Structure 1
């Protein structure tokens, strides 16, 4: 994997923690005795990190899948087995943690069997015309990733460029269909959401990167940096722009421009990256899933006005970020790394035995 991409994954994960830590302070604004209203309402600078961070995750998923699989025709089942074995086991551990917390006396969280089952399988659902997040809410992004993996798998045996074109056309068609038709179904909400186009954008960047299609220049550098600066300023400081314009216009282009800059600016690619930052990117999935656990517990404690901090809000915010990141890193070493060693060999060995049995039966029938 490209080191700068790994580092960018880590930065994206940090942005999500940064935003959610601020969310805890806003949620417990009155209990913490804060008087400045900037801590009561979500501000542009607090939303920016989490929003752009998630957008980067989606773009990076598209880039990584196309980049690592370019001109490597893959079997539908093998591809999904490999990708799902990466996503689901850790996700299930995280869900079990949420369920365990909900069983603690005094917890306000309650889940029914239907919510638990659809969350475990990452099946998007809709209730009363509203899309419902999984019981661990950060899992909403996994709905989109799973949908993309299934779409990609259908085209995985084609030439990569042809597959990219067809997937782009399919996602554009879904987006258009979502504008024309409204269907009360979770999977429809996911497939027709314009953010699905992020995977196609990431795929095209992989194509340009592999083929050396982008020739960097001073003009391109000036345009890219200026675009990021102007769009970021508009999102952070212009409330009407941030809240009144679709995220595919006001936010996703920022993440796309950042990825474009990191991939194609040769000066950035030559910057020596600290090993810890690259490693941080490798643990980004665990950080994304598990950083909320200590934040949820701390929020519940503050709700009961226990152990309220006396530190300034900025310092409190920093401490919450640190706690969230450390929780994610701990989950990476305790949960994700051990699962990485056992999940793929186990699943592939079972898949191989299954295919062998099918092959034997076919030969018997043929004879």
Structure 2
């Protein structure tokens, strides 16, 4: 809801992201402890607090305890910034936040850190995809803006093909989403179920696959395990989504919390008058 105040917006995002990530992180910590590699308390606390270890990123050495959590560090940071823009008029939010993200990426060209990665540009692209989706911006405007951003990045780092690929890929995704939004979509319940469970699958697949590969090391070629491991990871994610993620989301639903609060509030007794 574009008219949501910052606090309800942040609570909705925390409710969606944090509980399952915390649970998966603690399960990973338990797996490592059982394997004789217990993580330190500091590393666990950093992961739970969404604090990156070093330069967070998909190939960085400082990955969190649960490796897929590196992207959630950026996601939660973006939500904080986006929540701050909710006090502004709608028309100013995307341009101003995009400018801030590009500025951070530019700073990262001189002083690389987890919070100044070029990955931040993907979040800016996502906001503009949303603008197109809602009809508040045309694809031409997004393409022009994307081209200017690409020139900006090239001016900072001529010859760095990783950043060219990063932004070109972002524009390709934006074009794909725009195209699909204008095509008739047939509802497929099974695919929708996979989509609903995608977050649970993302967080839990390593929890299942790592023990599988460890138990079969030396006995089964890793290539032969790829398909069974993928199927097992998806199945585990679906189960976690239905049995864990959805019940947690229901328990933390604001309407249910208010109802429980009202039910637990003692009512004043009414004395009968003689």
TM range, normalised to the smaller chain? 0.7 to 0.9
> Contact 1:81 / 1:348 at 8 angstroms: preserved in 2?
no
Query: Structure 2-normalised TM-score?
Result: 0.77
SS at match of 2:249: helix
User: Take 2:181 and 2:45, find their aligned partners in 1: how far apart are those partners?
Assistant: 47
Specify the alignment match of 1:316 in structure 2.
225
1:290 maps onto 2:204 in alignment? yes
Specify the alignment match of 2:42 in structure 1.
114
Q: CA deviation at 1:245?
A: 2.6
1:338 maps onto 2:247 in alignment? yes
Question: Superposition RMSD on alpha carbons, in Å?
Answer: 2.9
Q: CA deviation at 1:180?
A: 2.4
Specify the alignment match of 1:171 in structure 2.
101
> Contact 2:22 / 2:48 at 8 angstroms: preserved in 1?
yes
Specify the alignment match of 1:126 in structure 2.
54
> Contact 2:197 / 2:237 at 8 angstroms: preserved in 1?
yes
Tell me: CA distance 1:111–1:265, structure 2 relative to 1, closer, same or farther (3 Å). closer
SS at match of 2:253: helix
User: Take 2:103 and 2:170, find their aligned partners in 1: how far apart are those partners?
Assistant: 23
Specify the alignment match of 1:17 in structure 2.
none
User: Take 2:85 and 2:181, find their aligned partners in 1: how far apart are those partners?
Assistant: 32
1:250 maps onto 2:184 in alignment? no
User: Take 1:207 and 1:111, find their aligned partners in 2: how far apart are those partners?
Assistant: 43
Choose between structure 1 and 2: higher helix proportion: 1
User: Take 2:96 and 2:139, find their aligned partners in 1: how far apart are those partners?
Assistant: 26
1:202 maps onto 2:126 in alignment? yes
User: Take 2:61 and 2:89, find their aligned partners in 1: how far apart are those partners?
Assistant: 35
Matches within 5 A, 1:48-87: 69-70=1-2, 72=3, 74-87=4-17
Specify the alignment match of 2:92 in structure 1.
162
User: Take 1:346 and 1:113, find their aligned partners in 2: how far apart are those partners?
Assistant: 35
Tell me: CA distance 1:141–1:273, structure 2 relative to 1, closer, same or farther (3 Å). same
Specify the alignment match of 1:102 in structure 2.
32
> Contact 1:94 / 1:289 at 8 angstroms: preserved in 2?
yes
SS at match of 2:68: helix
User: Take 2:255 and 2:69, find their aligned partners in 1: how far apart are those partners?
Assistant: 25
Q: Deviations over 1:197-241 (max 9, x none)?
A: 11111111111221164479xxx9xxxxxxxxxxxxxxxxxxxxx
User: Take 1:212 and 1:75, find their aligned partners in 2: how far apart are those partners?
Assistant: 21
Long gaps (5+) in structure 2: 144-159, 263-274
SS at match of 1:126: coil
User: Take 1:280 and 1:206, find their aligned partners in 2: how far apart are those partners?
Assistant: 22
Tell me: CA distance 1:255–1:174, structure 2 relative to 1, closer, same or farther (3 Å). closer
Tell me: CA distance 1:165–1:342, structure 2 relative to 1, closer, same or farther (3 Å). same
Specify the alignment match of 1:146 in structure 2.
76
Aligned residues: 239
User: Take 1:194 and 1:325, find their aligned partners in 2: how far apart are those partners?
Assistant: 30
Q: CA deviation at 1:102?
A: 1.9
Q: CA deviation at 1:121?
A: 1.3
SS at match of 1:151: helix
Specify the alignment match of 1:327 in structure 2.
236
> Contact 1:89 / 1:339 at 8 angstroms: preserved in 2?
yes
User: Take 1:279 and 1:146, find their aligned partners in 2: how far apart are those partners?
Assistant: 25
1:93 maps onto 2:23 in alignment? yes
Larger RCO, structures 1/2 (Cα 8 Å, 6+ apart): 1
